């Protein structure tokens, strides 16, 4: 019987989707599922949701819930992380303070000033989980879904021997979108994707041995509906020749080109038809809305007569755990240390590359060099992330300022003096959440 622990199980929709997927594999249909969260109300809803899935699927699985992380980790084979440190109201400050200074942010959970301060709040908790795992279940693997993915994974990979990787939806999600645009069955699209989280590039994109990039360029250039669906990413593709993972909204805040002036924001970040065109604070506003609606939505889902789907979804986690437990090996894109896997990105940075998982663990695949036009932006972002992680480890606020000073969006609208002032204000607002920094004035 496999034991799988969910830390941050109060992310109810995500937890129930992952549990549904896990139980569809024979190796895990009798799993022991341990749910952990500090929010007792959300934890109870998650428990009830998992019990409903188990009952409707007639699975021999067991599920429990606790606020005691160490208790849940005993005997664990795998640990899945979906936490948010500091709550939505703190994340709100991360976005509103930069906006006051002219840095217009769409999501702010991955990089830039907002992503860096989110990392500073979250890294200590992630490292504490690693320490608990090293003591209690050292052979368990960790699958992390929490952002900022690259900075959190880099911090943990520097400090722990736990087998871990970070998982994101963007690689398989974007591949599915491109297959649809190209009118190719998804399972027939052959690709190699590598870079860093939210900024990985499809280095190879083929169908039956033929390069489909020329066809994709024609489709994006001539089909207004397709171009408008992902305006930012399509502009980047037409300029750089490779398609990037993650939504237009996310990518609009990772570079210099789309958010530095109001007219550019209006042109590229408000009219797209994709799920995240790039509106200011788009995901934050969704979270604030969910804070008011999640109880009602969960109660509706839990109703006895409410239909639910038990078919397996497309998240990597269940396939990875099945392979790790002795099932069929699986290839996925994961976040791992750069041990010369991507030769023109910083050594030891957290990179997102193809990984083979089996009962023997994770085996990342060597990719080689990114095209230079992609490596320039990707390498800068990777270096900034490494600076932020180093600064967190040493409690060095000056290095945080220097990292944010190199952020492309921030640097495109602010002077060095203005950036320093903004970072000081963000440190003041986050002071209660950053005990690792003895000094927060720079």
Residues 176 and 71 in one domain: no
**What digits encode the pLDDT tens for the residues 364-377?**
999 999 999 999 99
pLDDT winner (highest mean) among 182-186, 283-287, 302-306, 310-314:
182-186
Q: Is residue 228 part of a domain?
A: yes
Average pLDDT, the chain: 96
Place of tokens 């041995």: 209
Yes or no: say if 320 and 331 are a contact pair by the CB < 8 Å rule. no
| pLDDT of res. 306 | 66
Query: pLDDT, tens digit, for every residue of 319-341?
Result: 999 999 999 999 999 999 999 99
* Closest by CA position to 308, among listed 11, 23, 90: 23
Distance from C-alpha of 232 to C-alpha of 282, rounded to nearest angstrom? 15
- Reported as a single tens digit per residue, the pLDDT across 16-73 is 999 999 999 999 999 999 999 999 999 999 999 999 999 999 999 999 999 999 999 9
- Are residues 401 and 322 both part of a single domain? yes
Residues 433 and 354 in one domain: yes
Peptide bond between residue 148 and the one before it cis (omega within 30 degrees of 0):
yes
Q: For residue 28, what is the DSSP state?
A: G
Q: Which residues pair with 64 in a beta bridge?
A: 34
Q: Are residues 413 and 399 in the same domain?
A: yes
- Cα–Cα distance, 28 to 25 (Å, whole number): 5
pLDDT at 437: 96
pLDDT of residue 287: 85
306 falls within a domain: no
Range of the structural domain that residue 174 is part of? 89-109+167-280+315-442
The CATH number of residue 238's host domain is 3.90.1820.10
Range list of H helices, 241-357: 248-252, 262-268, 282-302, 316-324
Least confident of 12-16, 146-150, 157-161: 12-16
Domain boundary among 166, 181, 213: 166
The CATH number that applies at residue 74 is 3.40.50.720
Looking at residue 418, the DSSP 8-state letter turns out to be H
**How many structural domains is the chain composed of?**
2
Round to whole Å and give the CA distance between 100 and 134: 43
Same domain, 55 and 120: yes
Does one domain contain both 136 and 199?
A: no
Rounded to two decimals, what is the model's pTM? 0.97
Reported as a single tens digit per residue, the pLDDT across 243-297 is 999 999 999 999 999 999 999 999 999 999 999 999 999 999 988 888 878 888 8
User: Which residues participate in catalysis according to the annotation?
Assistant: 169
231 and 262 both lie in a single domain: yes
User: Which of 126, 145, 166 represents a domain boundary (last residue)?
Assistant: 166
User: Cα angle vertex 93, ends 91, 94, to 5°?
Assistant: 65
Q: What share of the chain is helix, strand, coil (3-state, %, to 5)?
A: 50, 15, 30
Instruction: Report if residue 292 sits inside a domain.
Output: no
94 and 81 share one domain = no
Residue 287 included in any domain: no
């Amino acid at each position: 019987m496999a034991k799988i622990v969910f830390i941050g199980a109060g992310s109810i929709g995500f937890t129930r989707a992952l549990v549904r997927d896990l139980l569809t594999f024979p190796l895990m249909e009798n799993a022991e599922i341990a749910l952990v969260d500090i929010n007792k109300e959300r934890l109870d809803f998650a428990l009830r949701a998992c019990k409903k899935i188990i009952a409707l699927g007639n699975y021999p699985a067991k599920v429990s819930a606790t606020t005691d992380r160490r208790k849940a980790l005993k005997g664990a084979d795998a640990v899945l992380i979906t936490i948010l440190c500091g709550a939505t109201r703190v994340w709100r400050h991360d976005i509103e303070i930069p906006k006051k200074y002219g840095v217009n942010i769409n999501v702010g959970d991955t990089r830039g000033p907002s992503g860096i301060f989110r990392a500073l709040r979250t890294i200590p908790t992630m490292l504490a989980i690693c320490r608990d795992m090293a003591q209690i279940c050292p052979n368990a693997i960790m699958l992390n879904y929490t952002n900022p993915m690259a900075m959190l994974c880099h911090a943990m990979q520097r400090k722990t021997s736990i087998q871990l990787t970070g998982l994101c939806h963007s690689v398989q999600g974007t591949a599915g979108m491109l297959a649809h645009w190209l009118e190719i069955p998804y399972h027939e699209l052959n690709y190699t994707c590598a870079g860093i989280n939210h900024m990985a590039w499809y280095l190879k994109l083929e169908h039956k041995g033929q390069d489909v990039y020329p066809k994709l360029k024609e489709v994006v250039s001539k089909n207004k509906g397709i171009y408008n669906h992902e305006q930012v990413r399509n502009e980047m593709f037409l300029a750089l020749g490779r398609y990037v993972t993650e939504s237009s909204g996310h990518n609009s805040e990772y570079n210099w080109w789309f958010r530095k002036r109001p007219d550019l924001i209006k042109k590229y970040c408000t009219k797209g038809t994709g799920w995240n065109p790039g509106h200011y604070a788009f995901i934050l506003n969704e979270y604030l809305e969910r804070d008011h609606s999640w109880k009602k939505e969960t109660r509706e889902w839990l109703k006895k007569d409410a239909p639910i789907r038990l078919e397996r979804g497309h998240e990597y986690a269940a396939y990875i755990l099945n392979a790790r437990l002795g099932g069929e090996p699986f290839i996925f894109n994961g976040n791992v240390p750069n041990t010369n896997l991507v030769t023109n990105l910083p050594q030891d940075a957290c990179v997102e590359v193809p990984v083979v998982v089996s009962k023997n663990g994770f085996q990342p695949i060597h990719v080689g060099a990114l095209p230079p036009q992609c490596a320039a932006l990707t390498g800068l972002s990777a270096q900034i992330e490494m600076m932020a992680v180093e600064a967190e480890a040493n409690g060095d606020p000056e290095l945080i300022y220097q990292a944010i000073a190199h952020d492309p969006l921030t640097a495109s609208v602010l002077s060095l003096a203005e950036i320093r002032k903004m970072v000081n204000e963000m440190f003041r607002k986050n002071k209660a959440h950053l005990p690792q920094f003895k000094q927060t004035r720079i």
